[in-house]
Amino acid sequence: MKILTALFVSSMIWAAEPPFGFRDLFNGKDLTGWVSVNTAPDTWTVENGELICKGLPIGVMRSDRMYENFVLHIEWMHTEAGGNSGVFVWSGARPGDRNRLPDGVEVQMLELDWVKLNTKDGVAPPESYVSGELFGVGGVTTEPDTARGTRSRSVEMRCLPRGQWNTYDVVAVDGVIKLAINGKFVNGIAKSSQKKGYLCLESEGAKIRFRNIRIMELPPGVTTPAQSAVTLP
């Protein structure tokens, strides 16, 4: 009950202090607690208590430690049409050779015009693509709740367009992820082959703002070394 109450409060109120059981991952002042993996010194800046990513170069920055079971609260807002970003959970934070992005489970953050701007030969990608798709990347496999190929799509369109804040609450427990978008659970995956690792924020070509990045850690499970990312120095 306390966890559910905290989730409700964190979703509805932009509070000055974290709700019960949560702690800040972003202090609103600087990048303490975050480590650039393959981005530039000016990729990430702080302005008026918000974390701003300019989108270039493509890459990520990671949390300074790993997490296994947790509830993550994060608010984000695209400012450009068709903007692309996301947060990786249970990641090894090691960039791929080709796409510069790491392994883990990606929680997609796309601006709604992405579908229109990526229409090819008159065929637009599914609208569900821009409402919090979940999928394993970099060799991490998952079982989708609502399959679109190997990805899991939300059962209801919940994301808001550029210029408006979106709220994600990510409950990650023992290889299972449930995603609430703007106050409603609509997506999930299970049986992740990796269930302990870093959190990574993604820079992928477009400016995006973040605020109120908070985590509630939960008790660990039975996670083998093979199910955990390798700790980085």
**pLDDT score of 4:** 47
**pLDDT score of 15:** 57
Stronger pLDDT, 119 or 141, i.e. the higher one: 141
Q: Is the pLDDT of residue 113 over 50?
A: yes
Residue at 16 is within a domain: no
Residue at 98 is within a domain: yes
* Strand 208-217 to 50-53 pairing: antiparallel
Task: Give the separation between CA 38 and CA 36, rounded to whole angstroms.
Answer: 6
The domain of 40 spans 28-211
% of the chain exceeding 70 in pLDDT: 93
**pLDDT score of 2:** 47
**pLDDT score of 125:** 84
Question: If you average pLDDT over residues 11-24, what whole number do you get?
Answer: 71
Task: Give the separation between CA 194 and CA 197, rounded to whole angstroms.
Answer: 8
Q: Is the pLDDT of residue 12 over 70?
A: no
Q: What is the pLDDT of residues 156-208, one digit of tens each?
A: 999 999 999 999 999 999 999 999 999 999 999 999 999 999 999 999 999 99
Residue at 128 is within a domain: yes
Residue at 156 is within a domain: yes
CATH code where residue 83 lies: 2.60.120.560
Domain count along the chain: 1
Residue at 9 is within a domain: no
Q: Is the pLDDT of residue 3 over 60?
A: no
What 217-221 contacts at long range (C-beta under 8 Å, 24+ apart), as own/partner pairs, is 217/67, 217/69, 217/70, 218/69, 218/70, 218/71, 218/173, 219/69, 220/68, 220/69, 221/68, 221/69, 221/173, 221/174, 221/195
**pLDDT score of 191:** 98
pLDDT band at 123 (very low <50, low <70, confident <90, very high): confident
**pLDDT score of 47:** 96
Residue at 100 is within a domain: yes
Cα end-to-end distance, the chain, whole Å: 37
Residue at 14 is within a domain: no
222's CB contacts (< 8 A; 6+ apart) are: none
Residue at 230 is within a domain: no
